[in-house]
Amino acid sequence: MALFESYERRIDQINACLKEYGISSIEECKEITLAKGVDCDKIVRETQPICFENAVWAYTVGCAIAIKTGCTKAADAAAAIGIGLQSFCIPGSVADNRKVGIGHGNLGKMLLSEETECFCFLAGHESFAAAEGAIKIALNANKVRVKPLRVILNGLGKDAAMIISRINGFTYCKTEFDPYAETVTVVEEKA
């Protein structure tokens, strides 16, 4: 029985990645993480309840890699998790070619680094998932950082931006841009 979406298209690449780290199977990854008290299934589903199964397993693989390689710093673990995420990118896909999983891991590493003070990202007009991810990043990054990470969600589309910010606890700021003076003015702000 397949554990996640597009299992047949992903499994060879995943197994090749696991072999590099001396892990025999995806199921062993779950055993490795649970033995260390890390329940990836719970963490991923708490972050995004509507996630795909492959997201749960990709993070499980990444966390197992982080544990197997002896990561003791959150930033290093984030980069290792990116290796697991990359293994789930379908071979030949845009995500695989552009190393999206590795990029996500490196983004996590950057956000856990004290040199990074602020994380600003752009969410599409209906991107609740992006807002959910941003909140989880801020909550967890600040557990291992000395100086809190500031997070800015830049939403496209005024209605969606207002709804996303209100539901997820961001301060809603409506702005106007004057292209002639190249100035941005805050017109409305709602905590």
Point out the domain boundary residue: 56, 90, 113.
113
Cα–Cα distance for residue pair 117/37, rounded to 1 Å? 30
Q: Yes or no: say if 98 and 132 are a contact pair by the CB < 8 Å rule.
A: no
Together in a domain, 122 and 98: no
Together in a domain, 93 and 153: no
Kindly report, residue by residue over 31-88, the tens digit of the pLDDT: 999 999 999 999 999 888 888 999 999 999 999 999 999 999 999 999 999 999 999 9
Together in a domain, 96 and 140: no
Kindly report, residue by residue over 117-140, the tens digit of the pLDDT: 988 877 665 556 666 666 777 778
Indicate yes or no: pTM above 0.85: no
How far from 87 is each of 13, 18, 187, CA to CA, in Å? 6, 9, 45
Per-residue confidence (pLDDT) for residue 8, from 0 to 100: 95
Rounded (5°) CA angle 152-165-178? 65
Q: What is the count of structural domains for the chain?
A: 2
Long-range contacts of 6-13 (CB under 8 A, 24+ apart): 6/54, 6/90, 9/90, 9/91, 10/54, 10/87, 10/88, 10/89, 10/90, 12/91, 13/87, 13/88, 13/89, 13/91, 13/96
Confidence of residue 153 (pLDDT cuts 50, 70, 90): confident
- Note down the domain range covering 175: 115-191
